[in-house]
Amino acid sequence: MTESNDDYTPPKVWKWDNQEGGRFSNINRPIAGSTHDKELPVGEHPLQLYSLGTPNGQKVTILLEELLANGEKGAEYDAYLVNILEGEQFGSGFVEANPNSKIPVLVDRSGPKPVRIFESGAILVYLAEKFGQFLPSEPAARAECLSWLFWQMGSAPYLGGGFGHFYAYAPTKMEYCIDRFTMEVKRQLDVLNRNLSERKYLCGDDYNIADMATYSWYGQLCMGRFYDDPREFLDTDSYTEVMRWTKDIESRPAVRRGLRVNKVFGPEEEQVAERHDASDIDKSFVAAP
Ligand SMILES: N[C@@H](CCC(=O)N[C@@H](CS)C(=O)NCC(=O)O)C(=O)O
C-alpha cells in the first residue's frame, strides 16, 4: 500500500500483498472458505447462536431476549462467542454454517434436522416467523416491516464499512472517503428522522424486528457506542426523532439484556461473553444500592 493516494495507479491485475494495514488487516483476505478444522460447540438449548456483540450480533440477541420476555420457552439459546479478530469465523464448522464467514449464525436444532441460518436479517425473519411475533402477518404491514428491515441491511454497510472504516479504522484519515460516507450516513439519519417524525416506531405504532435491527446500528451510533464516538462530528443530537426512538427502545429490559450477550468490549460489568442460561445475563446487572 502506498501512503499517498496521489501517486497510485491501479495495476492491470490486482494482487494480494496482505499489507493494507488498519485494524482488521490480519483477518481480511480475498478468498472464501475455511483456514483450519474446528467443529462448532453445541449446547443444550434448541437454538445455537455463534456470534459477537456487534450490532449485527446484538439485533439477534435482542429479538431472542424479547421472545423469552414474552414467555417463548422455545427461544432458549446458547450463545457462543466467535472471536473474529482471531479468525474463528474461518474454522471449518463455522464455514459449514455460514459460507460467508461472518457472525451471526444461528442453528435451530429443535426439529429432526438442524437448520442453519446466516445473515442477521434472515435470522430475524426466521425467528419472528417461527414464533409468530414482531413481524406482522397482514400483507401491507408485513411489506412495510420487511422494507425497513431490508433498508437497514442495505444501508448499514455504508455506515460500518464506509463511514466507520474510514473515520475510525483506516490507517490514514482520507478526506475524500470520510466526506463521501459522512454525507451518506447523515442522509440515512435524516431518512430515519423524517419517518420517525410521523410514527412512534419505524412501521407505525408497533415495535418490530425492523426497529430492533435499525436501533442496533443507528440508535447505538447516536449513543456514541462505536467508531470512536462520532456524535459531535455527525451532530447526532440534531436528529431529535431518532434520539427519542433510541431512548424508547433502550428503556426495554429485553433490549438491555440482548445488548450484553457475546460482548467482550466496553464496560467490563456489561460483558457477557457467552450466554447459556438467563442467569448469565442476570449476573451482569449490578444490583441497585
Ligand atoms: N450482512 C451480514 C454482515 C455480517 C458482518 O459483517 N459481520 C461482521 C461482524 S459485525 C463479521 O463477522 N466480520 C468478520 C469478517 O469480516 O471476517 C449480516 O448482517 O449478518
Domains of the chain (ranges plus CATH)? 139-259 (1.20.1050.10)
pLDDT at 2: 44
Distance from C-alpha of 180 to C-alpha of 158, rounded to nearest angstrom: 10
Q: Please, how many CA atoms are within 13 Å of residue 237, restricted to the half-sphere of its CB?
A: 4
The count of other CB atoms within 10 Å of the CB of residue 50 is 27
Q: How far is the CA of 287 from the centre of ligand 1 (A)?
A: 34
> Is 102 touching ligand 1 by the criterion CB < 6 Å?
yes
Distance from C-alpha of 159 to C-alpha of 188, rounded to nearest angstrom: 9
Which of 35, 51, 62, 103 should be mutated for ligand 1, with most atoms under 8 A from CB?
Answer: 103
> Is 120 touching ligand 1 by the criterion CB < 6 Å?
yes
* Intervals of the chain under pLDDT 50: 1-2
Q: How far is the CA of 17 from the centre of ligand 1 (A)?
A: 23
> Is 193 touching ligand 1 by the criterion CB < 6 Å?
no
Burial of residue 80, with CB atoms counted within 10 A of its CB: 0-12 exposed, 13-18 middle, 19 or more buried: buried
pLDDT at 60: 99
Strand 105-108 relative to strand 77-81: parallel, antiparallel, unpaired?
Answer: unpaired
Distance from C-alpha of 148 to C-alpha of 210, rounded to nearest angstrom: 6
